[in-house]
A = this chain, B = another copy of it.
Amino acid sequence: MTRMSPDARRQTIVEAAQAVARRKGLSATTVRDVAEEMGTSSGLIHHYFASMDQLLAEVFSQVAEADLSATRERMDGATSETGRLAAYFDAWADPDNDDIFQFWLDAWSEASRNEAVQERSRALNIEWQGLLSEVIETGIASGEFNQVDAEAVSWTALSLLDGMSLQVVAHPTVIERGKAAQWAANSTERDLGLPLGTLRAASVIA
């Protein structure tokens, strides 16, 4: 393999591992798989990562962080807090994100057996909830939403979205994706004291 700078090589490895993990799943990805994917030797992987667990944690981390940034960008386009909340829900319902959600399923399953993954997964989940919480608090301050418990509603909405996605991704066809999105939006609207349909309307506009 052509020689590379350490930083570039590290990133190459993570990207190769990511490609394998999308195909085989996070926990089924092996050192040899990754080496073969990038056409190098297994020794190289260990030269850059102290353990396989750490490589897998890094892979998950990068995928999830990119998704978080993409969602933040989608939300930045909106003008109201209602619009930002709608963008958050839209990002979740996007079929393009199904592969990414599979990473989350793998990570949650893996968390109990891989400390590095658990730590990354916990931190990232808190970031997603924090993003939601910010929107809700700002929306309350601006008078768009009722005076609700932002922590409670943000965890509730995040859990609901996770649970719905889970059904859609792990058991395709058990719930129709559009219905799931609608139900999640309606329930959250009730939690926030918004008229039903507010989020749907805001997402069409944005």
Closest B residue to A117 by CB, please name it. Answer: B170
The 3 A-B pairs of least Cβ separation, nearest first, read A159-B163, A163-B163, A109-B109
| Bound Cα distance A93, B110 (Å) | 21
CB–CB B171/A111 < 8 A = yes
Report yes or no: A121 in contact with B170, Cβ–Cβ below 8 A.
yes
Instruction: Chain B residues near A182: list those with CB within 8 A.
Output: 152
- Is A19 at the interface (CB under 8 A from chain B)? no
Give the interface SS of chain A, mostly helix, strand, loop or mixed: helix
A180: B residues at CB distance < 8 A: 155, 159
Q: How many copies does the complex hold?
A: 2
Check: A68 CB closer than 8 A to any chain B CB.
no
Q: How far is the CA of A190 from the CA of B125 in the complex (A)?
A: 25
Cβ-defined contact, A112 with B170, below 8 A:
yes
Q: How large is the interface on A (under 10, 10 to 19, 20 to 34, 35 or more residues)?
A: 35 or more
Interface check A57, CB cutoff 8 A: no
User: Closest approach, in angstroms, between the C-beta of A187 and any C-beta of chain B?
Assistant: 5
A13 to chain B, nearest CB (A): 23
Q: Are A174 and B106 in contact (CB under 8 A)?
A: no
Q: A152-B186, A186-B152 are in contact. Are A111 and B170 (CB under 8 A)?
A: yes
When the two chains form their complex, are residues B109 and A171 in contact, meaning their CB atoms are under 8 A apart?
Answer: no
Bound CA span A155–B170, Å: 15
Cα A111 to Cα B160 in complex, Å, equals 20
